[in-house]
Amino acid sequence: MPALTPWEELVTTALLGTDRRALSTPGKEAPLTLLDQAAAQTVRRRAGLRPAPAAAPPQPAADDPRPPLPPAARQRLATLLTDQPGSGGSGRRGAAPDLMELLPQWLSLANARGYGAPPELLPALLNAARGRTDLRPQALTFAGPRALWLARLNPDWKFALRSTPGGGMALPDPTDTAQVQQLWEEGLFAERVALLTTLREHDAQAARALLSTTWQTERAEDRLMFLDTLRTGLCEADEPFLEEALTDRSRNVRATAAELLSALPASALAARMAARAASCVAVDHVASTPTLTVEAPHECDAAMERDGVVAKPPTGRGERSWWLGQLVDSAPLNSWQGRLGNRTPTEIVALPVADDWRGELHAAWCRAAVRQRDAAWSRALLGTPASPDAAGPGAVSLAERAKLLASLPPRERADWVAGFIAAHGLSEAFQLLGVCAVPWAEPLGRAVVDALNIARDAGSYPWSFSGVMGLAERCLDPAEAVRLEALTAVPDESENASPGAGGYWSEAFQRLVTTLRLRAAITTELTP
Amino acid sequence: MTQQGVRWTADQVLALAPDAPSRKAGSKLGVAGPWSEAGSSGEGTVWGLCKGSGSKPYQTVVDITCAGEAAGPAYKCSCPSRKFPCKHALGLLLVWAGQDGTVPEGEPPAWAEEWLATRRKRTAEKRSSPPSSTPADPEAAHRRAEKRAERITAGVTELEQRLSDLLRGGTAAAEQTGYGLWEETAARMVDAQAPGLAARVRELGAIPSSGHGWPVRLLEECALLHLLDQGWLHREELPDELAATVRSRVGLPAQPQGPPLRDHWLVLAQYDTADSKLTTRRIWMYGTESGRTALLLSYGAAGRAPSLALPVGLALDAALSWYPGGIRLRADLGEQFTAPAPTPLRPPGVRVSEATAHYGEALRKDPWLESHPVTLADVTPTQSTDGWQLTDPEEDLALPLSPSAASRPGLWRLVALSGGAPLTVFGECGHRGFTPLAAWPKDAEGTIPLC
């Protein structure tokens, strides 16, 4: 056993006590001698502190070539990140803006302008993205390579490595064929998906060619993931490859291939589906007014299954209507005009449908219009915004309407929703507002503000409209702030109003105006 | 002095906030929306009207020069908040810092001017009649001091007895006896009017439950407490400076002495520590011409922010005077000649081995010193098997970070700033390790606070 150092001797003696263990140098009073010696040793030990040997320093983070933020924008970001959720006490929102809600917009603007993140704000940024998955893609793009470097050092930020294709590793330049080929052959699955995704964005043909080289030898679940990358830049040149995949061993791969082919109206599969669907729907000219008659398929044959039709319906649905739906939503919409007496989509949609098939048929057309991004059919199926069944649970649900709206040009979309709000108020409009371009076009913004104003005059509390209010804060054009100023005054309490509602409305409009001002400032600050 | 372009940053403004909810509330008001008639004067005052929930807007004025007041920025607001500064003052300063044109230069309106004039008058009066350092009745003061010294001596003697008892029976028993015994002893030291001793005794009580290595730490702290006791009992025989150090460590109040030093003082760091009764704010300053480092202390009663607040990274032209003692770090802020303003200056750094040597030398003058302020040049935050350290690639040596520093969010800000490259770091270097407080990356301007 090695001899104890004088200091270790002292610590042992102190633990046991001087009554049990005598000091080697007896002095005045044993405990005081011990304390004297310990004091000298302690000061000596501290004064003699030496630095430790250096550990191997980390690999430096990759350079971020993006320009730094302008100072005002940097400050704004720091302020937005200070506003962590849950740090305030009260439930009521008051007149001050919700800064955290502006972060997504701030990030998308900063990314659009190509700025790099200030390093000292990366921890706060990563923590914000950790708590809010919806924020992650934008936040990680903005955070750049140094955030991934940080994430490798702190387990709390592991999500950043997962959310970034290839775990933030450097992918070869898409034009470097040799490097691309090597990573495709030797890379891990995640790296290969990342490579294929990047390549597909850069050169769709090359990506498909690369996939073809190893397609036969890939595992079924890998084939499915790889096939999914074809959604980006899908075009007619992909058809032979997809047609081949229709005979794949895996049912999921076959279904995905069929779905992709049906989104190509000129494909052979689309033509086959068109023929099948056409045989089910006809115009009955014998009736007093022309009427659509529907004869759903009687069987799902092997050829249909090969083209992706799922034979077994989900519980609660009839087989024949299930098959009909699949045929109609995979058939190219432009095939119907010739089939149904050269009518326009609007005229076709207006035709009465015999035997309660209307809902089934229109729902399938809606799915087709969404998949094929067909504006004319979307417009026809949406109908006029003011029509009474536009708000009700008619043939086309609000969720489907929202999807159909997405196929229309932004301005038309905004006008339709503005019309809808004018006719039906705000309570059903939330979903539809979500698909409108930001900032809202002027007529849409006015429709929303007018509707809020009407709701206020009706005497209800603003929090019944907090969803729309929140959207308005994020989506209204900042230029509207001037017009809204008048609404921030506390109105006289009317008889049928809920107690105190006027004050709360004034507060809500104040918050709206302040938020719009803030958004205008954010845009200015991020403009070089 | 505060011309366009040298305003504060949002971080610097938010550093003035008394607590986190104020920071949040303040930043929400830091936009043009609720403000009207806002303006600022070239002399460092900002004013504005803030729309609240009532019909009458709040009147907010901030004076960031506070020439001669020695209390950081001064605020006045007609809101009922007892927070100081209130959210309106913070919001106003944020809008002013934002430089978006909402706060133009101009003449203060009557309601702001009234307060400013009163302030200026009071300051002028103060300056013309500085508080006399000699008490009204020197005889009585002397008797009071004698009396207090007697009580401290009695306390010290009792404490020596307690330490003796502890070591006679062995510290192994301290693990069982728990906190109560020390709480009682600490209370006795408060009675003896030795708050410095009381605080050390209270910390002693927490050591046995502090995990691995506690017997070493307990012996160290007992020994240093004993050393302080002996220092007090023999203070007449000590050199003046060491005797002054002992007096201040025991907890006797002191006054700054000697001529004030005027310099451009860069604010390196500001952070608070709090216990149930008191919030202590430490502000580290660096004299860009004299090269001296100073520590300003400010206190707030429980739940209230200390009155002095200086935003990190700004520099001010001011005079400081130091308290007596061996190290002469602690100082008081005397007259301020300008408002704090941004500066590109940063303190020069030393190598890692010099940093530990400085601490060692400082212990000679003050053996009770926990840590010493130091700026390290070109060090890289590095993860080792024992935790984080700052490595000096030139010397191939490193300073481990103190355990408390390694668990603070500032660590990650430091690591992010470095990105694996060396940078300049200011902090406290001591036997528990290094605590980083501010950093300057190679090719960026401004001081980044880490606390």
pLDDT of residue B5: 41
Interface probe with A: pick from B7, B351, B374, B415, most Cβ of A within 10 Å: B415
pLDDT at A256 over 70: yes
pLDDT one-digit tens code per residue, A196-207:
888 888 888 899
Contacts of residue B129, Cβ cutoff 8 Å, sequence gap at least 6:
none
A79-136 pLDDT, tens digit per residue, is 888 765 444 444 455 666 777 788 999 999 999 999 999 999 999 999 999 988 888 8
* CB-CB under 8 Å, B33 with A513: yes
Residue A42 has pLDDT above 90, yes or no: yes
By CA distance, what is B384's nearest residue in A? A55
Looking at beta carbons, which residues of chain A come within 8 Å of B172?
15-17
Q: Which residues contact B401 (CB under 8 A, 6 or more apart)?
A: B387, B388, B389, B390, B411, B433, B434, B435, B436
Chain B residues whose CB is inside 8 A of the A87 CB are 20-21, 24
Q: Is B74 helix (H, G, I), strand (E, B) or coil?
A: strand
For residue B288 the two structure tokens come to 């860009």
- Which residues have C-beta within 8 Å of that of residue B56, sequence separation ≥ 6? none
Sequence-ordered list of residues with C-beta below 8 angstroms from that of B213, at least 6 positions apart, any chain: none
% residues pLDDT > 70 (chain A): 92
Question: How far A398 CA lies from chain B's nearest CA (Å)?
Answer: 36
What is the predicted pLDDT for the residue at B132? Answer: 54
The separation between CA B208 and the C-alpha centre of its own chain, rounded to angstroms, equals: 29
Closest Cβ–Cβ partner in B51, B224, B398 for A52 = B398
pLDDT tens by residue, chain B, 451 residues: 334 445 677 777 877 887 778 887 887 788 777 788 888 887 778 999 988 767 788 999 988 765 544 456 788 888 888 777 888 998 898 888 876 677 888 888 888 888 888 887 777 776 665 555 555 688 888 999 999 999 999 999 999 999 999 999 888 887 776 667 788 999 999 999 999 999 999 999 889 888 889 999 999 999 999 999 999 999 999 999 999 999 999 999 888 988 999 999 999 999 988 877 888 899 999 999 999 999 999 888 876 778 788 889 999 999 999 999 888 899 999 888 888 888 888 999 999 999 999 999 999 999 999 999 999 999 999 999 989 999 999 999 999 999 888 888 899 999 999 999 999 999 999 999 999 999 999 877 789 999 8
Give how far B119 is from chain A: nearest CA, Å: 31
Ramachandran region, residue A150 (left: φ > 0; alpha: ψ -120 to 50; beta: rest): alpha
- Taking alpha carbons only, the member of B335, B264, B286, B315 closest to residue B68 is B335
Q: Which pair of tokens denotes residue B421?
A: 């490259």
CB within 8 Å: A15 and B10: no
- Which one of A51, A88, A518 has the shortest CB-CB distance to B24? A88
**In chain B, which residues have their Cβ closer than 8 Å to the Cβ of A18?**
167-168
Give the chain A residue whose CA is nearest to the CA of B10.
A75
CB nearest to B164's CB, from A31, A83, A94 = A31
Per CB-CB distance under 8 Å, the chain A contacts of B384 are 52, 55
The stretch A432-455 carries a mean pLDDT of 90
pLDDT of A512 > 80? The answer is yes
In chain A, what percentage of residues exceed pLDDT 90?
40
CA B51 – CA B34 distance, rounded (Å):
5
Distances (CA, A) of A475 to A113, A410, A436, A487: 19, 14, 9, 18
Look up residue A222 and give its two tokens: 């890998």
Q: Which of A46, A47, A75 sits opposite B10 (nearest CB)?
A: A75
A407 CB contacts (<8 Å, ≥6 apart)? A369, A370, A373, A374, A375, A378
CB B86 within 8 A of CB B31: no
Q: Sheet of B35-41: strands edge to edge?
A: B35-41, B45-50, B58-63, B74-77
Give the three-state DSSP class for A506. helix
Where b means 16+ CB within 10 Å and e means fewer, A439-448 reads: bbbebbbbbb
Which chain A residues are Cβ-neighbours of B163 within 8 angstroms? 31, 35
Angle at B430 between CA B427 and CA B433, to 5 degrees: 80
Contact flag B31-A518 (C-beta cutoff 8 Å): yes
Q: What is the pLDDT of residue B66?
A: 54
Q: What are the sequence ranges of the domains in chain A?
A: 177-263, 266-382, 409-527
State whether B420 and A38 contact (CB < 8 Å): no
Residue-level pLDDT at B1: 38
Range A205-231 average pLDDT? 90
Q: Which two tokens stand for residue B118?
A: 């009163």
Interchain CB contact of B387 with A (< 8 Å): no
Region A397-407 average pLDDT: 86
What is residue A44's predicted lDDT score, i.e. its pLDDT? 95
- Please give the full DSSP string across A427-483, using - where no structure is assigned: TTTHHHHTTS-SSPPHHHHHHHHHHHHHHHHTT--GGGGHHHHHHHHHHS-GGGHHH
- Furthest-apart CA pair in chain A: how many Å? 126
φ, ψ at A125 (rounded to 5°): -65, -45
Structural tokens at position A494: 């009317």
How far CA A43 is from CA of A36, A210, B204, in Å, comes to 11, 70, 17
pLDDT (0 to 100) of residue A170: 62
The length of chain B, given as a count of residues? 451
- The Cβ-side half-sphere exposure at A300, using a 13 Å CA radius, reads 19
CA distance A175 to B96: 50
- CB nearest B10 (choices: A17, A31, A78): A78
List the alpha helices (DSSP H) in A152-188.
158-163, 177-186
How many CB pairs (< 8 A) connect A and B? Answer: 229
Instruction: Tell me how far apart the alpha carbons of residues A234 and A261 are, in angstroms, rounded to a whole number.
Output: 9
- Cβ–Cβ below 8 Å for B171 and A123: no
Closest CA to A478 of A525, A409, A427, A432: A525
Q: What is the pLDDT of residues A266-318, one digit of tens each?
A: 899 999 999 999 999 998 888 788 899 999 999 999 999 888 898 999 998 89
Contact A119 B222 (CB under 8 A): no
CA angle B92, B95, B97 (to 5 degrees): 110
Q: Evaluate if residue A416 carries a pLDDT over 50.
A: yes
H or E element that contains B36: strand B35-41
- Chain A residues with CB under 8 Å of B413 CB are 120, 123
Q: Dig out the tokens for A266 from the structure.
A: 């000129």
The mean predicted confidence, pLDDT, of chain A is 86
pLDDT at B225: 97
By C-alpha distance, the chain A residue nearest B53 is A507
Q: Is B204 on the interface with A (CB under 8 A)?
A: no
pTM of whole model > 0.95? no
- Mean pLDDT in residue range A366-372: 89
Q: A84 to chain B nearest CA, in Å?
A: 8
* pLDDT confidence of residue A165: 57
Q: Is the dihedral of CA B286, B290, B291, B294 positive or negative?
A: negative
In terms of DSSP bridges, do strands B58-63 and B423-430 run parallel, antiparallel, or are they unpaired?
unpaired
Chain B residues with CB inside 8 Å of A59's CB?
Answer: 420
How many C-beta atoms lie closer than 10 Å to residue B164's C-beta? 18
